[in-house]
Structure 1
């Protein structure tokens, strides 16, 4: 409560100081002066791909486009964490931009996991066990930008596509 009062007083003083000298600061300058920014301080990107391992002799595996995958991170609070979803592209690959409120979770590799949620009908693939989730692994960290990957998530089954 006290810090909010001090911050409010600073804004009032700046407002009167600006008015006295005729300077008008822009909203952006005021936000930066107060220490708040609208630019992201960090980014966390999760990547991976969804592959169907076909049991037919001539086909080894195929990418699954249009599938829904999701990541869930346990925050440690009693509040339920929610699934953050993504859809695979034509190559079976997905990207999830983790919301900023999850960036500060310590040890993301052990608190977050990926799970396939839905596979389109033409692909008759399934996860061998519905309780198995794929962990993520840090692959890059530079200037507040971190990239994790789940690697290839292999589903077992067959496809009606040839």
Structure 2
């Protein structure tokens, strides 16, 4: 009986596989065009939503957060999400220390994005007085929602040089 089953199982697998392929050929034919597949999955040229995380990095060169702040231009920041803290998106600050990161579409549907994702200062330019400042994760908060655009902010990220 065992030898009979050993012969029957591979043949049954082939029959099921052939039925599956030919039975689903109409679905595969409809979705064979790559553009259609991309559109169907929600990743086409038409963006369904936009999520932006913005903020400003400020260096307080004299250890006092309220006197003589300087914007940090050219700093690299990243959005990190989840337990593994892998960077999900990156950006750079402009001349006034501001950054705006367009979050990838696969994160748009994450519930409570402000509890799961943070902004991390990855690199500061060596010319900045805060170039060796310690970088901590900065939480984000929802600041506005308008016409399919959600904007989160870190507000100001204050850095001070080490003593």
Instruction: Verify same fold: TM over 0.5.
Output: yes
The SS at the match of 2:106 is helix
Equivalent of 1:134 in 138, 152, 159 = 138
- CA deviation after TM superposition for structure 1 residue 154, in Å: 0.3
Which of the residues 60, 63, 78 maps onto 2:68?
Answer: 60
Segments of 5+ residues of structure 1 without an aligned counterpart are: 14-26
Distance 2:25 2:51 in 1: 33
Deviations 1:110-143 (A, max 9, x none): 111111111111112157654x311001011123
2:138 and 2:73 mapped to 1: Cα distance? Answer: 18
Highest Rg: 1 or 2? 2
**TM-score when normalising by structure 1:** 0.68
Moved over 2 A (4+): 5-13, 34-37, 126-130
d(CA) in 2 for partners of 1:129 and 1:70? 15
Query: How many residues of Structure 1 are paired with residues of Structure 2 in the alignment?
Result: 136
Counting only pairs closer than 5 Å after superposition, residues 113-152 of structure 1 correspond to structure 2 as 113-125=118-130, 129-130=134-135, 132-152=136-156
User: Equivalent residue for 2:105?
Assistant: 100
Distance 1:127 1:154 in 2: 13
Provide the TM-score with structure 2 as the length reference: 0.68
* Matched-pair contact (CA < 8 Å) for 1:126–1:155: no
Structure 2 portions without partners, runs of 5+: 1-21
Name the residue aligned to 2:26: 9
- Name the CA distance, whole Å, in 1 between partners of 2:23 and 2:55: 46
